[in-house]
Amino acid sequence: MASITISNVSKTYPGAKAASVSDINLDIRDGEFIVLVGPSGCGKSTLLRMVAGLEEISGGEVSIGSRVVNQIDPADRDIAMVFQNYALYPHMSVRENMAYGLKNRRTPKPEIEARVAEAARMLELGPYLDRKPRALSGGQRQRVAMGRAVVRQPAAFLFDEPLSNLDAKLRVTMRGEIRRLQKRLGTTSLYVTHDQLEAMTLADRLVVLNGGRIEQVGAPLEIYHNPASTFVASFIGSPAMNLLDARIEGGRISLGSTQLDTSPVYGHSGPVTLGIRAEDLTPAAAGLPFRTDFVEELGAQRLVHGHVDGQPLVLTLDPAMPLHDEMRLSVAAARVHIFDTTSGKRLDLVRQTRQAAHQPA
Amino acid sequence: MSDLTHPVTSPAARPGRIRRWFTRPATAPSPAPSPAPAKRVQFDAPLLPWIFLAPQLVVIFVFFYWPSVQAVTSSFYIEDPFGFGATFVGIDNYRDALGSREYQRIAGFTALFTVLVTAFSLGLGLLFAVKADKVIRGRSAYRTALIAVYAIAPPVAGLMGMMLFDQHIGPFVTLAGWFGYEMKVGINYWDTASAMILISVWKQVPYNFIFFLSGLQGIPASVREAAVIDCRGGFTRFRTAILPLLAPTAFFLLIINITYALFDTFAVIDVMVKDKPANNPLTLVYKVYNDGFRGNDIGGSAAQSVILMVIVLVLTLIQFRWLERRVHYG
C-alpha cells in the first residue's frame, strides 16, 4: 500500500507536435480510489501507462510510496494492472495465470498456492482454476485478470478500462465487485474509464481530463454539483447538463426575451453560458417558456426533450406529473450554474443564495 | 437469384438436384427445397464444376499421383539402362539400398545436415524476428533487407555461395586463411559440408523470419505488457510468455524446414558438388538423382525415393502425434 504522487508529468510522443499529456499534478492518498475520466484521446490511458511504466515519462516525476519510479522497471514498481481486453496468457491455466507474476518474483510455492486459493475464493474462481482462458466467459476472464492483480498484493492497482469489453448488465455487477474488493483490500487504485457513470459510482475522487490536461479533481458529487467548466458540466451526469446562451445585464439573468426570476448576481455582465441540470427544472405557473419535442420514458422518471427560446433543453419529470406541450419552467437560483461563454470556465459570482447549493455532498 | 436468371428451367426441382452433387449424403437428407445459402454458387449443368476443377485435377494427377505410382512400381524392377526392358526383382532394390555402406553414410549425413539446417534456420529466423520486432525507426527498410534473400532462386543462392567459398576469390576462404586454416570447399569433405549448411541456412532464414515476425505481431500488445509487469527478466519473459504463443508458427515451420533441408536444398547441393571430385557430402535426395539420372539405375533410385517418402511421412506423423499436443493454438 502506498500513496502515488504525480508531479508536473507530461508526455509527448516522438514525432508528435503537441503533448498528449501536459503538466499533470495529482496526489493520490494511500488506499484511495481515483478514477481518471474523459473522452477518448484525453490522455487518461497515457497517464495510467506512465504510472505503470509501460510508457516513458517525457517530463515530471511519478512517485509510488516514497520512491521516484521514473527509471524503475515496470516489474519493480510494485503495481498490478488490469487491462481492457484482460491480457490473460492464453497458454496458461487460470491458476498459472495468477501464479505467474509471483513465480517470477520467487515467492515460495506454499505462499503462491495460499494466495491463489484466497483470490480464487474471493472471486469465485475455484471451479475454473485448471481451465484455459479461452474456456471462460468474458466476465470470468475479467475476474481472472483481477485475481492476477490481487494475488500480487501490490502497492497499487491500475485499471485500464477493465469493464468496457463486458455487456451492460455484467458491467454493473463487476463494477460493484471491483468496488467491494478495493474497499476490502484497501489498495490504492487508479482507474481509467470513459464512462462517466462508472466514474461516478466507483471513485473516491474523480479526475476529469480533457485534451491532456486536468479539468477538475474532486469527489463525484462535488463535481456533479459544482462543475468547474462547461466541459465537465456536459461530461459528468446523465442526461448532460443543459447549457444555454444567456446574458447578464445589471445583475439580472435573461434568456432571450425572458428574465430569470432569481436574485441578482454581481461581478459580471454580458453574455454567459447558463448550466441547469435536468432535475433542477420544475413546471411552474410562471418562468421559462418551454415547448415539448418528445419524451423518453425511463420508468422511474421521464426525460422531456424540448426547447426554450430556440435552444434545446431536457428536464426530468415524475411520470405521475401531467405532460403538456407548452410549459413554464422555474429553477432555484442556487441551482443555476454560470460559465464564461468564451473560456467555458465557471464564474463564481457573488450571490448570497449560492451557499445553499454548496451543501457538502 | 438463380431462379431469376434462368426463368425457363423449372426452378423448384433444379437447385435441389444440383445441390445433391455438392453435398454429402449425411447432410443431404435435410428437406431439399430449403433455400440454399446465399453465397453458394449454383450450377445448372452437373458437368460444369468438373470442367472448372479439371485443370487442377490434371496438374495433380500428372505431376503427383502418376509419378508416385510410377516410382513405387519401378522400385520393384531392375530396368535396362537403355530402356529396352525391366525385370521384376521384388524388394531387392530396397535391400540393396538399405544394405549399402554408402547409402548408410549418406543417410547419416542427411540426418546431421537436416538437424543442423533446421535448427540454425529456425533459431536465426526467430532471433532476427525478435530483434526486428523491436525496431521502430526504419523498420520497413530493415525488414525488407532481411526478407530480400528469400527472393533469390536456390541455384543462384548456390552459385553465390560457391563464389563466397571460391578457392581464389572467396572471402570465406580468405577469412579462414587468416586463422591459419586452408579451406578447400569441393575437395575437403567437411569444408564442403559446412559451406553447404551455411548456404542452405542463409537461404531459409528469411522464410522463417517472415513467419516468426508475423507470429510475433499477432501476439496482443496487452499480453506482452502484462508480461512486462509480471516478469522482470527479458529472456525469461520471452521463454515463458511469448515463445509459447509462437508455438503454432514454430511447429508449422519445423515441418516446412525439415522438408526444405531434405528436398529443397537440392539445387544448392547440385551447384556445389556437380563438377567436383567424388568425395563430397550428399543428401539422400541428391543420391536419388545421382543414381537415377547419372547412374541410370532407375529401379534403385525409385526404391530410394520411396524410402525417402516413407521417412518424411513418418517424421510428419511423429511431429503431429507428439509435438502438436504441446502446441497451443490461440
Which positions in chain A touch B139 (Cβ < 8 Å)?
none
Residue A281 scores a pLDDT above 70: yes
Among B229, B237, B238, B251, the strongest candidate for a mutation testing the A interface, having the largest count of A CBs within 10 A, is: B229
Instruction: Write down the number of H helices and E strands in chain A.
Output: 8, 19
How far is Cα A328 from Cα A335, in angstroms, rounded to an integer?
A: 17
Residues of A with CB under 8 A from a CB of B: 52-54, 73-76, 79-81, 83-91, 100-101, 104, 134, 148
Q: What cell does B57 get? A: 485435377
- Nearest by CB to residue A75, choosing from B229, B244, B245, is B229
Are residues A83 and B222, on separate chains, in Cβ contact within 8 Å? Answer: yes
Are residues A87 and B236, on separate chains, in Cβ contact within 8 Å? Answer: no
Give the percent of chain A with pLDDT over 90: 35
Tell me the pLDDT tens digit for each residue of B315-326.
Answer: 888 888 877 766
In chain A, what are the domain boundaries?
Answer: 4-230, 240-351
Give the up-direction half-sphere exposure of residue B35: CA atoms within 13 A in the CB hemisphere. Answer: 6
Query: Quick one: closest CA in B to A88, which residue?
Result: B223
Are residues A52 and B245, on separate chains, in Cβ contact within 8 Å? Answer: no
How far is Cα B257 from Cα B250, in angstroms, rounded to an integer?
A: 10
How far is Cα B291 from Cα B100, in angstroms, rounded to an integer?
A: 13
What ipTM was assigned to the predicted interfaces of this complex? 0.82
pLDDT of residue B27: 42
Tell me the pLDDT tens digit for each residue of A326-351.
Answer: 888 888 888 889 898 888 898 877 55
How far is Cα A244 from Cα A337, in angstroms, rounded to an integer?
A: 10
Which positions in chain A touch B220 (Cβ < 8 Å)?
85, 87
In chain B, what are the domain boundaries?
Answer: 1-44, 102-326
Residue with the larger pLDDT of the pair B285 and B14: B285
Give the percent of chain A with pLDDT over 70: 96
Give the percent of chain B with pLDDT over 70: 85
Residue B10 scores a pLDDT above 50: no
- Parallel, antiparallel, or unpaired: how do β-strands A281-297 and A302-308 relate? antiparallel
Task: Taking residues A91-111, report their average pLDDT.
Answer: 90
Tell me the pLDDT tens digit for each residue of B38-74.
Answer: 556 677 778 888 889 999 999 999 998 898 888 888 8
In the block, residue with C-alpha cell 563466397: B164
Residue type, A304: V
Tell me the pLDDT tens digit for each residue of B127-179.
Answer: 998 888 887 677 788 778 878 877 888 778 778 888 888 888 888 888 888 88
CATH number of the domain located at residue range(s) A4-230 in this protein: 3.40.50.300
pLDDT of residue B117: 94
- Nearest by CB to residue A87, choosing from B225, B232, B236, is B225
Architecture field, domain B102-326: Orthogonal Bundle (1.10)
Task: Taking residues B1-26, report their average pLDDT.
Answer: 43
Query: Quick one: closest CA in A to B327, which residue?
Result: A91
pLDDT of residue A1: 66
B218 lies within 8 A of chain A by CB? no
Identify the CA nearest to A340 among candidates A332, A351, A348: A348
Residue B302 near residue B72 (C-beta atoms within 8 A): yes
Identify the CA nearest to B44 among candidates B65, B23, B17: B17
B243 lies within 8 A of chain A by CB? no
Query: Quick one: closest CA in A to B245, which residue?
Result: A91
Among A83, A112, A146, the strongest candidate for a mutation testing the B interface, having the largest count of B CBs within 10 A, is: A83
pLDDT of residue B40: 61
Topology agreement, domain A4-230 and domain A240-351: no
How far is Cα A237 from Cα A280, in angstroms, rounded to an integer?
A: 13
pLDDT of residue B16: 45
Residue with the larger pLDDT of the pair B5 and B149: B149
Confidence of residue A251 (pLDDT cuts 50, 70, 90): confident
B232 lies within 8 A of chain A by CB? yes
With a CB cutoff of 8 Å and minimum separation 6, the contacts of A77 are: A52, A53, A64, A69, A155
CATH topology of domain A240-351: OB fold (Dihydrolipoamide Acetyltransferase, E2P) (2.40.50)
pLDDT of residue B330: 55
pLDDT of residue B329: 65
Which positions in chain A touch B222 (Cβ < 8 Å)?
83-87
Residue A158 scores a pLDDT above 90: yes
Q: What cell does A325 get? A: 406541450
Are residues A91 and B328, on separate chains, in Cβ contact within 8 Å? Answer: yes
How far is Cα B32 from Cα A262, in angstroms, rounded to an integer?
A: 77
- Nearest by CB to residue A87, choosing from B222, B232, B247, is B222
Q: Which helix (H) or strand (E) holds A285?
A: strand A281-297
In the block, residue with C-alpha cell 509419378: B67
Residue B312 near residue B320 (C-beta atoms within 8 A): no
Q: How high is the mean pLDDT of chain A?
A: 87
**Weakest-pLDDT range from A35-39, A118-122, B195-199, B230-234:** B230-234
DSSP state letters, A34-64:
EEEE-STTSSHHHHHHHHHTSS--SEEEEEE
Residue B75 near residue B94 (C-beta atoms within 8 A): yes
Instruction: Write down the number of H helices and E strands in chain B.
Output: 16, 2
pLDDT of residue B5: 40
Residue B12 scores a pLDDT above 50: no
Tell me the pLDDT tens digit for each residue of B248-272.
Answer: 888 889 988 998 998 888 888 888 8
For chain A, the 3-state helix, strand and coil shares in percent, each to the nearest 5, are 30, 35, 35
Dihedral pair phi/psi, residue A248, rounded to 5°:
-115, 120
pLDDT of residue A209: 92
- Cβ atoms within 10 A of the Cβ of B190, count? 9
Are residues B240 and A90, on separate chains, in Cβ contact within 8 Å? Answer: no
- Cβ atoms within 10 A of the Cβ of A56, count? 12
Q: State the count of interchain CB pairs (< 8 A) between A and B.
A: 65
- Parallel, antiparallel, or unpaired: how do β-strands A242-249 and A270-276 relate? antiparallel
Which positions in chain A touch B247 (Cβ < 8 Å)?
91
Query: Quick one: closest CA in A to B136, which residue?
Result: A14
Closest-CA distance, A81 to chain B, in angstroms, reads: 7
Which positions in chain B touch A74 (Cβ < 8 Å)?
228-229
Confidence of residue B36 (pLDDT cuts 50, 70, 90): very low
B89 lies within 8 A of chain A by CB? no
Are residues B330 and A90, on separate chains, in Cβ contact within 8 Å? Answer: yes
Residue B118 scores a pLDDT above 50: yes
Task: Taking residues A119-137, report their average pLDDT.
Answer: 88
**Residue count (chain A):** 361
With a CB cutoff of 8 Å and minimum separation 6, the contacts of A255 are: A244, A245, A246, A274, A288, A308, A309
